[in-house]
Structures are given as structure tokens and as C-alpha cells.
Amino acid sequence: MGVQWKAFVDQISHYESFVLVSHIRPDCDALGSELGMAEVLRTIGKKVRIINAHRTPAALQFLDPASNIEVLGDHVEAEDISADCIMILDTSAWAQLGDMGDVIRASRADKIIVDHHVGEDDIGATMYKDYQAEATGHLVVQAADALGVTLTRSMSVPLFAAIATDTGWFRFGSVTPETYRIVARLVDAGVVPSEIYSDLYERDTLGRLRLRGLILSRTQSEVDGALMHTHVEKEDFTKVGAEPNDTEDAINLTLAVQGTKAAVIFVGQIRGGFKLSFRSRCAMDCNEIAQQFGGGGHKAAAGAFQEGTLDDVRARVLPVVIEAVRKATR
């Protein structure tokens, strides 16, 4: 079922000020949805701040040329954050909010969630979710329509990036005819897709290229080639001169191997433990697997986090994924 946008509009009308928040390690859908929604709300006269727990990755700074996104602890302290409403975009999980989660818990502001992920925690928010949407950026376009806001170029650039990246540049199974209709409207508003593609994929650092080479060199196969897995340890980032966000989309490279149906990557975190990313091109449900490890997401793509060494985490996770792939490919 889609979002009840009339209820959303009615609720928005009660507030004058908003703080927009998204998940830690923000990607294009998180950042693009925040930036797009901020402009939508400002267009109807609302006061808006975007405050995240983590900094915008350098490679994605082009989405925010005016540096509108603030970072908790860098630009603003928790006690200085106030608003009538806190709107959480592109996540519904406490674990994904980082230090902003504490701010949200302590705030008396009303809470709204706009998201497309299946899993959710009880955050005490009014939910506006569509599990069928391929990106939260798509939902922000629908919100603009519901509020009677005309799409502008500055609004559309981050929203296009949000949708393009969450669909693997329109190659994932989540893409529908409506995806292209939405994207066409963003292009009509002034988006130049080739420019966004260049900003995203043709400005790699040498460190990012070396990191991808390392990831690919470590790829191993299981279940007669149906499953690929690889890893990055936190020390690798320093060794090759890369940033943690440089692992984004790397897992999808392993799916290019003929016969591959699923993949998992273990990414070492600076503070310890490993971020897990699952991908599926078969009946294996990534969300179900991720939930077993405290995470969530979608059927075709999901993530989680596990404490421990690489050997420990891999020993816990790989057997579960291997069994799921075997069942899905029988």
C-alpha cells in the first residue's frame, strides 16, 4: 500500500520548524531525500535544518554545494537542537541513527518517518512508508506533489541521485514504469543525468580504485559459484588511502560473475566490528537474513552490523547465507 499523503499534508500543516535526520554512513538516497525534502518544506514556508550523526562523504559533497547539512558534534550540539517536528528519512531503525538517536529520544518534538525499508523499530513516530518504492527519494517527489510544490532543478538533482543510486542506475528489479515517469519529471526540471553520473562514478580517487581492487582480489565463491563473498578490514582503508564510504556499490561488482545469485561483503568499521551488506538476484530474502543479525532492508538488498573479529563474524554469518542460497537455488 502506498503512503496516505493527505494525512501527511494535514500533519505537516501543524508545524513551523523541522529537523531532518537520516542514517549513519549516509548514502545518496539518505542525503538526496533530506536535501530534496528540505527544499520542499522551505518552499511552503517552513523552517528546516538537516542534522546528521555522520559527515557527508567527500565523494557526495557535490549534492550539497551550499553545505546545508549540519553534523552533530561538528556544527551543532545536542542541546542546541529544537524543532516542532523531527523527520527521519530513509531509515526506521534506532541503530541506524547513531548519536542522533539520543537526540530524538530526548526531544519532545513530534516525529515523522518517511522511508521505504521493510524493517522498523518503535521510534514513536508517525510512519509514512511504502515498501514497494525503489528509493525514499521517490517518496519525497510524491510528498512535493501532495504539498503542491513544483519541482525545481536544485530540488531535483539530489532526488535524481537518490533514485539512480538506490536502483543501481536503473538496473535493479525494483525499477518500475513509475520510476521512469518520476525520473522524466526530474529531467524536465533541469537534471542532466550525465553530469550526475560523472560526479558519482567518474571522479574516483586512487585510493578508491585500489580498495575496489583489493575487494575483488579477495572474492571467494561458495555453493558452486552461486554465492560470492569478500571483505575489507579497517586497516585496509589507511593502507590504500581510501575512506569507509569507498566500499559503496563494491558488492555489486561481485554479482557480475556469471552464475552468481547472491553476495555478501564484510566491511570493518573504525570503531570495531563489521558492517554486513547482502545482495540477492534469486529467491533468497536479504531482509530476512539481515534481521537475524540485527539489521534489515529489502528482499534484494539489506545490511546489518556484527561485533567481533573477521573470523568470528564470518563464522556466524556465512553458514546462514550459504544455507539460504542453497534453498533458493534448488
| Same domain for 169 and 78 | yes
| Same domain for 268 and 251 | yes
**Which of 144, 176, 202 is where one domain is finished?**
202
d(CA 255, CA 251): 7
| Same domain for 212 and 160 | no
**Which of 202, 228, 247 is where one domain is finished?**
202
Residue 243's closest CA among 206, 216, 201? 206
| Same domain for 191 and 70 | yes
| Same domain for 187 and 305 | no
Q: State residue 296's pLDDT score.
A: 85
Question: Which residues of the chain, if any, have pLDDT below 70?
Answer: 1
d(CA 291, CA 198): 35
| Same domain for 228 and 104 | no
| Same domain for 159 and 12 | yes
Residue 250: CB atoms within 10 Å: 20
What SS3 state is found at 80? helix
pTM, 2 dp:
0.84
Q: State residue 240's pLDDT score.
A: 96
Q: What's 276's domain CATH number?
A: 3.10.310.30
Residue 28's closest CA among 176, 198, 213, 167? 167
In the chain, the number of structural domains is 2
Residue 104's closest CA among 125, 119, 121, 120? 125
Q: State residue 1's pLDDT score.
A: 63
| Same domain for 258 and 303 | yes
**Which of 202, 217, 250 is where one domain is finished?**
202
| Same domain for 197 and 86 | yes
d(CA 114, CA 63): 20
HEC-encoded secondary structure of the chain? CCCCHHHHHHHHCCCCEEEEECCCCCCHHHHHHHHHHHHHHHHCCCEEEEEECCCCCHHHHHHCCCCCEEEECCCECHHHCCCCEEEEECCCCHHHCCCHHHHHHHCCCEEEEEECCCCCCCCCCEEEECCCCCCHHHHHHHHHHHCCCCCCHHHHHHHHHHHHHHCCCCCCCCCCHHHHHHHHHHHHCCCCHHHHHHHHHCCCCHHHHHHHHHHHHCCEEEHHHCEEEEEECHHHHHHHCCCHHHHCCHHHHHCCCCCCCEEEEEEECCCCCEEEEEEECCCCCHHHHHHHCCCEECCCEEEEEECCCHHHHHHHHHHHHHHHHHHHCC
CB 65 within 8 A of CB 39: no
Q: State residue 245's pLDDT score.
A: 81
| Same domain for 313 and 171 | no
State pLDDT tens for residues 41-91: 999 999 999 999 999 988 899 999 999 999 999 989 999 999 999 999 999
Domain of 246, in residue numbers: 207-328
| Same domain for 65 and 196 | yes
| Same domain for 288 and 257 | yes
Q: State residue 282's pLDDT score.
A: 93
Q: What's 142's domain CATH number?
A: 3.90.1640.10
